[in-house]
Amino acid sequence: MIAIYELRNPGQLLLGYEVIRIRVKPAQEVFGRQYLERECYPSSARDSPDWGTIAWSFGRNQRREAMAMFNGLVGNERKRPAPTPYAPHMGQSDRRTGARIGRREF
């Protein structure tokens, strides 16, 4: 599944866009606590390869570039044999394409 998010500050000023390929983590136990299968956002850790491989950031004046990346990835997702599971609690989604559009605030 592919998602595009508008990034906005608390005053609703547009900061930019993020395009991500959503990953699904399996159910597991961590530090004695059980977690169900869940979607996870790309890691922002310094040594993580996520940004630039499964996630991309665009400035507020780069909407066209962000949408081109999003549409290209959605097109590639349609060619994949096994779609990512749908999780309705994570935002608006189109089950046919695996596309999601949402908003994040900082």
Strand 99-105 and strand 2-8: pairing?
A: parallel
Per the listing, tokens 């570039």 go with 65
d(CA 104, CA 4): 10
- 27-77 pLDDT, tens digit per residue, is 999 999 999 999 988 988 888 889 989 999 999 999 999 999 999 999 888
> Is the full-model pTM beyond 0.75?
no
Q: How far apart are the first and last CA of the chain?
A: 23
For the chain, percent of residues with pLDDT exceeding 70: 75
